[in-house]
Amino acid sequence: MTFTERYGSPHTRMIDLVQAWDIPFEQIKAGDKFCVLTDTGMDPLVWESAMAALKLRGAEALLCMWPRLKYHNDSPPEMAIEAARASDVVIALTTTALNSGTPALRSLRAQGGGTGKKPIWLMEEMTAEILTQGGGSVSKDEFLEICQRQSRIGEILDRSKHIRVTSSFGSDLTAQIDGYPANALRDRWGRVPFQRNSSGGLGGGTWPWGEVHVEPVPGTANGTLVWDTTAHHPAGLWREPVTLTIKDGRVMDIDGGVEANEVRWYLETYGDENSYLCGGEIALGTNQRCPPYTGQLRSEKKRYGAMHFGIGHGADRGIVKSKLRCEGVISRVTIVVDDSTVICDNGRILV
């Protein structure tokens, strides 16, 4: 954000941007079919550079663009979904979220033959600055270090039953987190993304890389969670935090200033009853190249020591399904599991 404010987004950034795709695009081969999704709100340099980098690798690439949707997790046009269905990999470079909280994408996500689910590389709300100056600028060594850090955290979460989240703005939330298959979180978050699987197909990934998340068991989250940085809505760096009061896995109250009014309006207008359930995710950011105070969710949610907390749809357990998932960020979090292991202490990861 700072870089763009100072220098704008000149087309000369393309010189750096083409190279910025080197890690996520490393395993792409000639003939791989890519469907790049974008909208009219996106900085064209972002998808232009992705298309150029795909062409350089001999991939077959199609771009689908539509007028920007009204809210995150709104469904893209059916025509785009049909095009995506015919591709090997979908890349989301939209300005609205297309994560698993997006109803129209769920059938696409479930699609896949012997190689498993169709990969959707989530990179929504991407900026040229994130790619070249922020979380996307990691070196290969830093990238692999993130994977190792996430493997260690996933391993601890896999053997834990209970989580407690606190923060300096007054968060104090507890939840049950067991019930995953053995080693599910270590394998999911510790693996190297964007790699080919044993059948030769490309696997999933998000960019910038850098989060470990666990879903609370529905009905078990209790306490207070304070989003203090930003959320899907309203966009930008917040001035007043928003307090969620959670009882038995459901958001009962949303308090704060103008941002809280906006969050309430957003959920009432675009969500459904299940959008208030927890639900979504308790996720720790692990990428040290994501700078603080950007107010950009794409970057803040991956920032080392920050947490994003999502209400609504939860993909892992497949129990809570909602029209949208709303994610918000806690700047510096403390996470303790089973009252004994401190995973993160006020923004410093200890494992």
Residues 6+ apart with CB under 8 A from 178: 160, 161, 162, 217
Specify the pairing of strand 33-39 against strand 89-93.
parallel
Task: Please identify, using beta-carbon distances, which residue of 83 and 329 lies nearer to Fe ion.
Answer: 329
Using CB under 5 A as the binding rule, whether residue 326 contacts Fe ion is answered as no
Query: Closest CB to Fe ion among 256 and 328?
Result: 328
Minimum CB distance to Fe ion, residue 308 (Å): 6
CA dihedral sign of residues 249, 333, 322, 262: positive
Minimum gap (Å) between residue 199 Cβ and Fe ion: 26
Residue at 345: amino acid letter: D
CB 9, min distance to Fe ion, A: 26
Site pattern 64..83 for Fe ion (x: CB under 5 A):
--------------------
Which C-beta is closer to Fe ion: that of 201 or that of 210?
Answer: 210
CA atoms within 13 A on the CB side of 239: 4
CB nearer to Fe ion: pick between 213 and 323: 213
What is the amino acid identity at position 108? L
Nearest approach, Cβ of residue 212 and Fe ion (Å):
9
**Segment 211 to 230, residues that bind Fe ion, using CB under 5 A:** 211, 213
Q: Name which of 49 and 322 has its Cβ closer to Fe ion.
A: 322
Per-residue x/- marks for Fe ion, 8-47, CB under 5 A? Answer: ----------------------------------------
Q: Which is nearer to Fe ion, 206 or 243 (CB)?
A: 206
The nearest distance, CB 310 to Fe ion, in angstroms, is: 7
| Residue number, 45 or 297, with CB nearest to Fe ion | 297
The site string for Fe ion over 118-147 (x = CB under 5 A, - otherwise) reads: ------------------------------
Query: Position 116: which residue type?
Result: G
How many residues touch Fe ion under the rule CB under 5 A: the total is 3
Provide, rounded to whole angstroms, the least separation between the CB of residue 10 and Fe ion.
Answer: 32
Residue written as tokens 């103008």? 258
Rounded-to-integer distance, Cα 147 and Cα 301, Å: 16
Under the criterion CB under 5 A, does residue 283 sit at the interface with Fe ion? Answer: yes
- H/E stretch holding 166 reads strand 162-167
State in angstroms the smallest separation of the CB of 110 from Fe ion.
19
CB 294 within 8 A of CB 324: no
> Which phi-psi region, left, alpha or beta, contains residue 66 (left: φ > 0; alpha: ψ -120 to 50)?
beta
Q: Nearest-CB residue to Fe ion?
A: 283
Task: Determine the Cα–Cα distance for residues 105 and 110; give it in Å rounded to an integer.
Answer: 9
Q: Which residues contact 133 (CB under 8 A, 6 or more apart)?
A: 3, 291
Does residue 330 touch Fe ion according to CB under 5 A? no
Q: Residue 144: what residue type?
A: L
Give the integer Cα–Cα distance in Å for 189 and 152.
Answer: 9
How wide is the angle at C-alpha 82 spanned by C-alphas 124 and 206, nearest 5°? 25
Residues in contact with Fe ion by CB under 5 A are 211, 213, 283
